[in-house]
Amino acid sequence: MSSKLPKYVRAQGKFLFYQRDYPAKLRHLAPTKTFTYALKVTADNSVSAELNRKIAQAADSYALACKRIGNTDPNAYSVSELDTAAADYLRKRNLQPGQFTSVMLDLELSRQEAKYQVQLQAHKEDYALAALPEMENVIAKEQEGEALTFNDQVVVHALKKLIDKSKQRPQTLSQLWKEYAAGKGIDINTREGKRQQIWWDKFIAIVGDALVAPETLSHIHDGIDRYIAERQQAGIKGQSIKRELSQPLAAIRKASKKYRLGWVLEITDIERSRKKVRNVLSHEEQRRLVNFCLSTTTKRDRDVAAAVLLMLQCGGMPSEVNRLVTERIALDAGIPHIIISGKVKTTSRPRVVPVVIGVNFIMQHIGSAINWLQSCSDSTHSLSIKKFMARATGNNAITGHSLRHTFRTNCIANGADPTVGAAIGGWSGKQIGMSDVMLGYGAEGLSQSEGLKGFQRESLKIHRHLLHEHSHKVVQFPIRI
């Protein structure tokens, strides 16, 4: 079992429960001090997509419970809240949506014979009514012409969920997203999880929530058109709009396939924005940066410097340095190199990178640099790197990402083999597979491979303006080719 359970999750015996105190202002109205929801997940499954899905359901139920304590007006609740309440109602009675959808009894009825359909439906309802004794009071109210309360409506909706197969699926677009996010293991406590949730929140705020039905597709299409128009009017680049829409549209497509809704999303072309001018370090700025890195004296500066020197030599990102592990750092090998791998933006990004600048310095400080990167947020270390580079070069416009564009510019300006340069930098194209082949070698085989020797030759060419005799401090090992 994980040593740390998610917030509000407690273990009782071998099972997990969602437990959360009601707000202080509602406790005098609440039946108990604490809301409890059985997650029906075992404690040894404390890290799983299923647990995330159940926690999301529990959080919805908690929010609804708080609302129900202080509000009895049935018109105050949305369809989504009604569906959540009905699901809770069934769960507490150990019933499942669609449980009586296929009740055939012992009548040997043929589903193909229309004359039996009414009889079959009646038997389904008999079974469902027997499971929901509260329906007797609801039926009596309807016969007397009394208005149904929200709790009465919950019972009616629960009955429909028991006998109507379509009621098994989420009833609104927002519920489709929650199911998708839980299934994908999207954790809103992480930076990436928060970003994806924000994309959905923006999407549903403009598109508008809606019931899940065949005619909903037109509503979705109209909403997407509004979303694109509003975001473009706000000055958001086309590429960014596509990225924002990627997860919401993926959730809708997945739901359509899972529940056979027949939705085919047709997205209008989003005009690509003109690429903005990239900030690239000049050769002189690069020399200043390298020599500044190698002459740093404080621990924090040395941590930043080690990361910057690696990023300069492979067009890397701080997150890639962050993921480096000991067995993939071979700076004391015959040909000093590192291996960048792990979760990356593109499949071509994992790669082998020869190190030709500041090898001894990087070897001494890389461990501390990785610890620093792992101890702070992306925004924190990005700002630290930006300030460090501004101090080194006097250029306040450059950032850590500028080193990626600078690497590509160096490849072109110094006449390096574009295929090898792209393989070292991790760009897609014809070079895909070059790093993959070398990644298949063992540590010793890779260090002696002709492929790595070729990479080193090109890397020396790419950075030759930094290996000039006037910058002798840069090179700290005998060059072997």
The number of domains in the chain is: 3
Helices (H) and strands (E) in the chain, counts: 19, 6
156 and 44 fall within a common domain: yes
Handedness of CA 253, 255, 260, 262 (dihedral sign): negative
CA 319, CA 200: separation in Å to the nearest integer? 25
Query: Alpha-carbon distance 306 to 293, whole Å?
Result: 7
Are 366 and 436 found together in one domain?
yes
What pLDDT was estimated at residue 469? 43
Q: Which of 200, 225, 258 is the last residue of a domain?
A: 258
Q: Quick one: pLDDT at residue 221?
A: 92
Clarify whether residues 219 and 359 are in a common domain. no
**Average pLDDT over all residues of the chain:** 80
Q: So what's the pLDDT on residue 286?
A: 96
Q: Which of 377, 335, 339, 365 is nearest to 479 (CA)?
A: 335
pTM of the model: 0.53
Q: Is 234 exposed, middle or buried (0-12, 13-18, 19+ CB in 10 A)?
A: exposed
Domain assignment of residue 252, given as a range: 173-258
> Does one domain contain both 399 and 311?
yes
Among the listed residues 453, 421, 431, 435, the one whose alpha carbon sits nearest the alpha carbon of residue 350: 435
Instruction: Return the number of other C-beta atoms located less than 10 Å from residue 347's C-beta.
Output: 10
Read off the amino acid at residue 21. Answer: D
Indicate whether 270 belongs to any domain.
no
Q: In whole angstroms, how far apart are CA 125 and each of 120, 144, 155, 403, 478?
A: 9, 21, 13, 68, 84
Residue 62 counted as domain residue? yes
Band of pLDDT at residue 19, cut at 50, 70 and 90: very high
Same domain? 289 vs 317: yes
Instruction: Evaluate whether residue 3 is within a structural domain.
Output: no
| Average pLDDT of the segment spanning 459-478 | 66
Domain identity same for 150 and 178 = no
Confidence of residue 149 (pLDDT cuts 50, 70, 90): confident
Please choose, from the candidates 219, 208, 96, 225, the residue with its C-alpha nearest in 3D space to the C-alpha of residue 163: 96
Which of the two residues, 452 and 188, has the higher pLDDT score?
A: 452
Do residue 289 and residue 432 come from a single domain?
yes
Among 84, 43, 35, CA closest to 64: 84
Residue 338 has pLDDT above 80, yes or no: yes
* Last residue in a domain, options 223, 258, 293: 258
Task: Determine, yes or no, domain membership for 341.
Answer: yes
- 324, 413: one domain: yes
pLDDT digits (tens, 9 = 90+) for 22-45: 988 888 888 889 999 988 888 877
Provide the pLDDT for residue 109: 40
Q: What are the Cα distances from residue 167, in Å, to 97, 160, 216? A: 7, 7, 16
CA distances in angstroms from 140 to 97, 144, 145, 327, 481, listed in the order given:
24, 6, 9, 73, 91
Nearest in space to 177 (alpha carbons), one of 110, 247, 123: 247
Tokens of 301: 């500066």
**pLDDT class of 49 with cuts at 50, 70, 90:** low
8 Å CB contact between 338 and 330: yes
Q: What per-residue confidence (pLDDT) applies to 77?
A: 78
For residue range 381-408, list pLDDT tens digits in order: 999 999 999 999 999 999 999 999 999 9
In angstroms and rounded to an integer, the radius of gyration of the C-alpha atoms of the chain is: 30
pLDDT(348) > 50: no
Tokens of 171: 């009833």
What size, in residues, is the chain?
481
The residue among 168, 195, 225 that closes a domain is 168
Is residue 350 one of the residues assigned to a domain?
A: yes
Q: Which of 58, 68, 64, 85 is nearest to 153 (CA)?
A: 85
Please give the backbone phi and psi of residue 317, each rounded to the nearest 5 degrees, phi first: -115, 155
Provide mean pLDDT across the span 195-224: 86
207 Cβ neighbours under 8 A, 6+ residues apart? 173, 219, 220, 223, 224, 226, 227
For residue 396, how far is the Cα from the chain centroid?
A: 32
Distance CA 233, CA 227 (A): 10
Residues 6+ apart with CB under 8 A from 348: 426, 427, 428, 429, 431, 432, 435
136 CB-near residues (< 8 Å, 6+ apart):
none
Instruction: Specify the pLDDT at position 439.
Output: 56
pLDDT at 89: 83
Examine the domain organization and report whether 149 and 187 are in the same domain: no
Does residue 434 sit in helix, strand or coil?
helix
pLDDT, position 237: 86
Summarize pLDDT for 244-254 with one digit per residue, the tens.
999 999 999 99
Which tokens in the block code for residue 267? 């997205």
Label the pairing between strands 351-354 and 337-340: antiparallel
Sole residue written with tokens 């895909």: 432
Domain identity same for 221 and 132: no
- The answer to whether the beta carbons of residues 251 and 197 sit under 8 Å apart is no
Q: Which residue has the tokens 């390096």?
A: 416
Residue 274 has pLDDT above 90, yes or no: no
Answer yes or no: are the C-beta atoms of 313 and 463 closer than 8 Å: yes
182: pLDDT strictly greater than 60? yes
Q: Tens of pLDDT along 281-335?
A: 999 999 999 999 999 999 999 999 999 999 999 999 998 999 898 888 989 888 9
- The SS3 of residue 330 is strand
Residues 101 and 139 in one domain: yes
Mean pLDDT of all residues in 42-55: 74
Is residue 346 situated within a structural domain? yes
Write down the pLDDT at residue 211: 77
pLDDT higher for 389 or 270? Answer: 389
> Would you place residue 479 in the very low, low, confident or very high pLDDT band (cuts 50, 70, 90)?
very low
**Residues in a beta bridge with 35:** 20
Q: What is the predicted pLDDT for the residue at 168?
A: 61
CB atoms within 10 A of CB 243: 13
Token pair in block for residue 95: 């019933």
Q: pLDDT at position 59, please?
A: 85
pLDDT of residue 466: 93
Min mean pLDDT across 21-35, 63-77, 374-388 is at 63-77
Q: Which range among 73-77, 353-357, 404-408, 472-476 shows the weakest confidence by mean pLDDT? A: 472-476
Q: Are residues 392 and 467 in the same domain?
A: yes
pLDDT given for residue 114 in this prediction: 45
| Single-letter code of the amino acid located at 52 | N
For residue 345, pLDDT over 60 is answered with: no
State the pLDDT confidence band at 92, using cuts at 50, 70 and 90: confident
Calculate mean pLDDT across residues 168-174: 75
Let me know the angle formed at the C-alpha of 178 by 173 and 181, rounded to the nearest 5 degrees: 120
3-class SS at 310? Answer: helix
